[in-house]
Amino acid sequence: MHVIVTGGASGIGRASAVRLARRMKVTIADRDLDGARSVVDEIKSAGGEAQAIIVDVAHRTSVFEMVAQATATFGPPAALFANAGINRRNPVDLISEADWDVMMDVHVKGMFLCAQAVIPHMLSLGHGTIVNTASDFAIMGVAGNATYTAAKTSVYSLTKAMAVEFTPKNIRVNAIGPGPIDTPLLATGRTAEQHVALRAKFAAALPLGRMGTPEDVAVVVDFLLSDKASYISGQLLHPNGGQLLW
């Protein structure tokens, strides 16, 4: 079985690719080709099969070329983890049009394009499973992060729409809504001091008393993409340390 993992060069995608490689051939699709290649090396040294392909998920041609190339080597993908993401933080009155557009393009359009490119292969196989990375922020209001929350709510909505359309065709579509996970994304746009303070704040505030690791999320992705989740579609599952308990 072949799975495509976008954003697989780092963080949640990387940990998920490594875990999924225990039972699948993995295409690591990322704009960071060197990072993707380093994950391929890690998987191969553990005895798995993987390939790295460069992609910009915000562009249709790039996504369709990536899926064609991935399929030529590993066969039609039966699974997709659409996960590539970025962040641009600002209060609403200071968000630029360019930042708004790139957030929507990478998250919402990117996950839509990846699904559109793999679904024909899944239909030809007669089965498939997709997990999109949303966020806890998909269902929260968060100051200073409106582009991200709007994009992630849209990812959740897209997930539900695709689940209604394709579950009857034996393609399950789910989303994950991670809480604060210790990855490079959390450091972007912050000073080292701000990053350290934020990690301490999260650890203290979360009911489980610690930030999540990429591996905490990879377990959930692996589950949702597996037959163990065969009766689950259209859901948003939260590996979040209990963040939404109040």
Ligand X SMILES: NC(=O)c1ccc[n+]([C@@H]2O[C@H](COP(=O)([O-])OP(=O)(O)OC[C@H]3O[C@@H](n4cnc5c(N)ncnc54)[C@H](O)[C@@H]3O)[C@@H](O)[C@H]2O)c1
The tokens for 56 are 């910009």
Choosing from 18, 19, 24, 30, the residue that interacts with ligand X (CB under 6 A) is 30
**231 counts as catalytic:** no
Residues 138, 94, 139: CA angle, nearest 5 degrees:
10
Of the pair 59, 127, the CB lying nearest ligand X is at 59
Binding-residue total with ligand X (CB under 6 A):
29
**Of 74, 148, 156, 202, which is the active-site residue?**
148
Choosing from 5, 106, 108, 117, the residue that interacts with ligand X (CB under 6 A) is 106
Choosing from 186, 218, 229, 237, the residue that interacts with ligand X (CB under 6 A) is 186
Q: How far is the CB of 101 from ligand X (least distance, A)?
A: 12
- Rounded to whole angstroms, the Cα distance separating 130 from 145 reads 26
Choosing from 2, 4, 13, 166, the residue that interacts with ligand X (CB under 6 A) is 13
- Rounded to whole angstroms, the Cα distance separating 157 from 163 reads 10
If one counts every other C-beta atom within 10 angstroms of the C-beta of residue 125, the result is 16
Choosing from 113, 175, 181, 225, the residue that interacts with ligand X (CB under 6 A) is 181
Q: Who contacts 138 (Cβ-Cβ below 8 Å, separation ≥6)?
A: 149, 152, 153, 155, 156, 175, 177, 236
Of the pair 37, 160, the CB lying nearest ligand X is at 37
User: Contact between 224 and ligand X (CB under 6 A)?
Assistant: no
Q: How far is the CB of 236 from ligand X (least distance, A)?
A: 11
The tokens for 234 are 């259209």
Taken in order 3, 17, 107, 54, is the CA torsion positive or negative?
negative
Of the pair 41, 126, the CB lying nearest ligand X is at 41
Question: Pairing state of beta strands 171-176 and 50-54?
Answer: unpaired
Task: Yes or no: say if 28 and 228 are a contact pair by the CB < 8 Å rule.
Answer: no
User: Contact between 154 and ligand X (CB under 6 A)?
Assistant: no
- Rounded to whole angstroms, the Cα distance separating 162 from 55 reads 22
Of the pair 101, 169, the CB lying nearest ligand X is at 101
x-or-dash string of contact with ligand X, 113-152, rule CB under 6 A: --------------------x-x-----------------
x-or-dash string of contact with ligand X, 36-75, rule CB under 6 A: -------------------xxxx-----------------
- Rounded to whole angstroms, the Cα distance separating 105 from 38 reads 26
How many residues does this entry show for the chain? 246
Query: Read out DSSP for 136-174?
Result: GGGGS--TTBHHHHHHHHHHHHHHHHHHHHHGGGTEEEE
Catalytic site residues? Answer: 148
Residues that bind ligand X (CB under 6 A): 6-7, 9-13, 30-32, 35, 55-58, 83-86, 106, 133, 135, 178, 180-181, 183-186
